């Protein structure tokens, strides 16, 4: 008789953002007149400009003509796109990257969730706390953890991110094999310096560990001294995988395109005594379980990496960063402590009056009709914190912050 | 120290279609003047008609305007699409299906590869032989098999499909928990009657097994008495999951949209003693590891389920079926034994002269510059067979079959 994967039964509660959506839906049902402003899920709101739109249109036209119609192609993505990424994201910052080291995918969520498949089931993982839930849940589902109690899963090393370490994780006490890092960070908005990353690269080299570096928000960095990629740190090519996304960068949350970088030098041992290329293993994983991103979408993405496209999305990123500044000023005016919101679309605030994260969630929803994300949903160290995002329209962001003055 | 997932190291050779592509690339490099015709990978060639193109264009325009721009939405897919699928694919054939039982995804390859995650690691799986390699490889990667020897993995129950059973699998001798079926079949082109499917539904009910039914090619069925869906068989809602795709149906191989049907009645036990809804577990899987299909693509897909859209794709399917008829006639003319090619885009032929599958692959490539897929790549029972697909352009199909007369 068939049985379910018991690891799924260990999962604690709903996926965070589904839970938030459910509670907001309930509130709206009970308060049909309320105009709710959502600064919760990190979803973009600004439409595509003419460059990306034009590229998408052109690709649709190609699909309607024999000769330019596109069917299956490499699940790794079109070369025209991988070459532009290598040039724009890496070479322009002095990092050589072969297009063969770049894998196009439908989302950094998918890739950060799936990448753990490449590793042994006994892999000891480390995640920051607070953390993007996908890193953890995907490992729970794979059976790498014990049960959930007191806000944490057994078997995971949690790296506390608190005010004391400026929300930047310290090296673990014990040994770990696989380390998830994210800078600019979701949810805290913190950034890492090259020295911060060097510390982790050195650790990984010493311990034979691998770093999974989520750089989905790198485009928000405005200080040229800060690294956009972990591969700006010497030696990282032997120990790190990097995830990037057009979701927040170029407004692709509903259009779906990301990419994952796995350098050729990254090889790890197997129980067979051999040394195995993670680039090749991921290639095999993707060719078995994935069939590539739609041609139309890849052409739209290509436009992001042209000079005109870049100007288009830089304007939008600037718009969101100005939103972040408005949120920061609003919080200051209301005497609410926060971090982030610079080089990042995320603002991480301390719930005022010693409220718990979910208490503040409901208070903010009830009194201000503003939706944010409870910090506790990102981990135990997130309890008492709350995440706002800068992705609303300007009017909504301004109004949301005005409504903060209603908070009692 | 980190180690790789040792199960990946059990995988035998490359993914079949990558291997075919590599060998063809090598041939073309060595024979730059050769005009190779590809009837190998099941890739469509006909461009989108005006209805689908118009829907895609309209969606691109929406993405360029504030107010109609789309960001994140349910990873399950838009209701406008799920409702049309329920109506068109199921209600129209007398099968009630709730849109909540339909999950939109980027590909049947992805879903048939990922679905095994929901089941216990000790699940005993059964696959037809020959078989679409993804069913097997995804289970190898998950650790449900032993090593590979003599063309098969240990721990899998292979259901032989040969001339003796008209390429339709018989019930297994021993007990199995999870059964992969595909009709119209890839690669053999065989179809199943309702009685065939009832046999499997009854088996699953008796044994507490689950059927994974791949109906990616249902649109090619031209006999109204043949079932398009396993849910046309009474009782199937309690034991089956169905996979469908627009890839071959509507020319979406390069545009990526499929859907998976998990009825609410499908519940299986867990080690916790409870009974668990696979619909809910898949929902949780998808919300953790997937972020939905691009809005633009979902709008294009919606058009497929309108009356005009249907006419458009039916014309294309008719075109491919006529290609299949041309291939069948060509094989008959050359005295080559085959099956399939009716209600199916696949023709399954016996390699002439007692050649092995790969021998015939190279002979056909060398003497005719025609690419097909070696049957042995689909399993041990595929040895000595060869798959052709009806997806070429008419001119190419005609020329390919003319070239068959060069075979020595």
Overall size of chain A counted in residues = 408
Whole-number pLDDT of residue B345: 96
A152 occurs within a structural domain: yes
Please answer yes or no on whether A11 and B118 come within 8 Å at the CB atom: no
What tokens were used for B189? 């082109």
Helices (H), A115-157: 133-141
Position B1 in a domain: no
CB-based burial label for A216 (10 Å; 0-12, 13-18, 19+):
buried
Q: Do B32 and B96 have their domain in common?
A: no
Structure tokens at B161: 């499909």
Percentage of chain A lying above the pLDDT 70 cut:
100
Binding-face residues of B in 113-152 toward A, CB within 8 A = 113-114, 117-123, 133-134, 137-138, 141, 143
Say whether pLDDT at A61 is over 90. yes
How high does pLDDT run on average in chain B? Answer: 96
Chain B residues lying within 8 Å of A5, measured CB to CB:
117-121, 281
Last residue of a domain, one of B280, B306, B332: B306
pLDDT at B398: 97
Q: What is the pLDDT of residue A129?
A: 98
Q: What's the CATH number where B256 sits?
A: 3.40.640.10
Q: What CATH number is given to the structural domain containing B312?
A: 3.90.1150.10
Pair (B324, B255) in one structural domain: no
* B223 within domain boundaries: yes
Q: How many domains does chain A have?
A: 2
Over 80: is that where the pLDDT of B15 sits? no
Kindly report, residue by residue over B44-68, the tens digit of the pLDDT: 888 999 999 999 999 999 999 999 9
A/B interface, count of CB pairs below 8 Å:
280
Cβ separation A287–B18 shorter than 8 A? yes
Q: Token match 């042995």: residue?
A: B376
Question: Do B302 and B313 reside in the same domain of the chain?
Answer: no
- Residue A102 and residue A207 in one domain: yes
Query: Across the interface, which of A64, A276, A288 has its CB nearest the CB of B4?
Result: A276
**SS3 track for A305-343:** CCHHHHHHHHHHHHHHHHHHHHHHHHHHHCCCCEEECCC
> Do the Cβ atoms of A197 and A234 come closer than 8 Å?
no
Contact A45 B70 (CB under 8 A): no
pLDDT for residue A74: 84
Nearest chain B residue (CA) to A17 = B287
Report CA Rg, chain B. 21
The pLDDT tens digits of the residues spanning A325-375 come to 999 999 999 999 999 999 999 999 999 999 999 999 999 999 999 999 999
Give yes or no: residues A32 and A100 share one domain: no
Tokens in use for B154?
């240990």
Q: Assess whether pLDDT exceeds 80 at residue B42.
A: no
Residue A391 located in a structural domain: yes
A6 located within any domain: no
Q: Which of B21, B25, B254, B309 to mutate to test the interface with A (most CBs of A within 10 A)?
A: B254
Strand partners, B276: B268
Are A289 and A314 within one domain? Answer: no
**Of A154, A137, A165, whose CA–CA distance to A377 is shortest?**
A137
Q: Are residues A21 and A112 in the same domain?
A: no
pLDDT surpassing 90 at residue B320: yes
pLDDT score of B18 more than 90: no
Contact A12/B at CB under 8 A: no
- Between β-strands B258-261 and B240-245, what pairing exists: parallel, antiparallel or unpaired? antiparallel
User: Is the same domain home to B18 and B93?
Assistant: no
Mean pLDDT (chain A) is 96
* 3-state DSSP assignment of residue B173: coil
Cβ A294–B294 below 8 Å, yes or no? yes
Are A130 and A226 in a shared domain? yes
Residue A334 burial (C-beta neighbours within 10 Å; 0-12, 13-18, 19+): middle
Q: Which of A71, A274, A295 is facing B43, going by the closest CB pair?
A: A71
Q: What's the sign of the alpha-carbon dihedral B268, B269, B270, B275?
A: positive
- Of B277, B306, B335, the last residue of a domain is B306
Chain A residue numbers touching B61 (CB-CB < 8 A)? 53
Give residue B216's pLDDT.
97
Contact call for B2 and A107, based on CB within 8 A: no
Shared-domain flag, residues A350 and A360: yes
Of B291, B306, B321, the residue that ends a domain is B306
- The radius of gyration of chain A's CA atoms, rounded to the nearest angstrom, is 21
Tell me what the mean pLDDT of segment B253-271 comes to: 97
pLDDT tens digits along B324-376: 999 999 999 999 999 999 999 999 999 999 999 999 999 999 999 999 999 99
Banded model confidence at residue B73, pLDDT cuts 50, 70, 90: confident
A4 within a domain of the structure (yes/no)? no
In this prediction, residue A145 has a pLDDT band, given cuts at 50, 70 and 90, of very high
pLDDT in tens, A197-223: 999 999 999 999 999 999 999 999 999
Write the DSSP string, B211-252: EEEE-TTGGG---TTS-SSGGGSTTGGGTEEEEEESHHHHT-
- Answer whether residue A2 is part of any domain: no
| Residues B144 and B289 occupy one common structural domain | yes
Mean pLDDT across the stretch A177-191?
A: 98
For residues A255 and A253, give the distance between their C-alpha atoms in angstroms, rounded to a whole number. Answer: 6
Q: Give the pLDDT confidence score for residue A98 in this predicted structure.
A: 98
- B83/A contact by beta carbon, under 8 A: no
Q: How far apart are CA A117 and CA B219, in angstroms?
A: 34
Q: In this structure, are A291 and A321 located in the same domain?
A: no
The token pair that represents A17 in the structure block? 């953002």
pLDDT of residue A116: 98
The whole domain housing B335 covers 6-47+308-406
Q: Which of B178, B209, B295 sits opposite A254 (nearest CB)?
A: B295
Say if A128 falls within a structural domain. Answer: yes
Q: Please report the pLDDT score of residue B60 as a whole number.
A: 98
A260-300, pLDDT tens digit by residue? 999 999 999 999 999 999 999 999 999 999 999 999 999 99
Give the chain A residue nearest B289 (alpha carbons): A110
């Amino acid at each position: 008789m068939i049985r379910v994967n018991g690891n799924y039964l260990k999962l604690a509660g709903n996926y965070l953002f589904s839970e938030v959506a459910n509670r907001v839906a309930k509130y709206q049902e009970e308060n049909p007149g309320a105009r709710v402003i959502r600064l919760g899920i990190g979803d973009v709101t600004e439409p595509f400009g003419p460059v990306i739109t034009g590229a998408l249109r052109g690709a649709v036209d190609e699909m309607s003509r024999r000769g330019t119609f596109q069917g299956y192609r490499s699940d790794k993505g079109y070369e025209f796109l991988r070459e532009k990424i290598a040039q724009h994201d890496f070479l322009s910052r002095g990092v050589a990257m072969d297009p063969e080291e770049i894998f196009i995918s439908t989302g950094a969520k998918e890739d950060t969730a799936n990448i753990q498949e490449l590793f042994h089931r006994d892999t000891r993982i480390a995640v920051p706390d607070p953390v993007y839930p996908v890193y953890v849940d995907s490992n729970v589902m794979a059976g790498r953890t014990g049960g959930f109690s007191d806000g944490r899963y057994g078997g995971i090393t949690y790296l506390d991110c608190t005010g004391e370490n400026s929300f930047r994780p310290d090296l673990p006490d014990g040994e770990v094999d696989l380390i998830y890092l994210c800078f600019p960070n979701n949810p805290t908005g913190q950034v890492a310096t090259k020295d911060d990353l060097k510390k982790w690269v050195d650790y990984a080299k010493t311990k034979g560990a691998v770093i999974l570096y989520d750089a989905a928000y790198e485009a928000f960095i405005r200080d040229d001294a800060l690294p956009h990629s972990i591969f700006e740190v010497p030696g990282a090519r032997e120990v790190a995988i990097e995830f990037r996304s057009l979701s927040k960068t170029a407004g692709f949350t509903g259009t779906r395109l990301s990419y994952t970088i796995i350098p050729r030098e990254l090889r790890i041992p197997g129980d067979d005594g051999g040394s195995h290329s993670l680039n090749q293993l991921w290639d095999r994983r993707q060719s078995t379980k994935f069939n590539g991103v739609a041609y139309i979408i890849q052409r739209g993405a290509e436009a992001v990496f042209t000079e005109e496209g870049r100007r288009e999305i830089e304007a939008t990123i600037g718009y969101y960063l100005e939103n972040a500044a408005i949120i920061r000023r609003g919080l200051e005016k209301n005497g609410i402590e926060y971090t982030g919101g610079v080089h990042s679309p995320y603002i991480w605030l301390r719930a005022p009056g010693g409220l718990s994260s979910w208490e503040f969630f409901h208070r903010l929803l009830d009194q201000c009709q503003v939706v944010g994300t409870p910090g506790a949903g990102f981990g135990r160290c997130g309890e008492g914190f709350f995440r706002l995002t800068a992705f609303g329209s300007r009017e909504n962001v301004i109004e949301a912050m005005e409504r903060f003055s209603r908070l009692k």
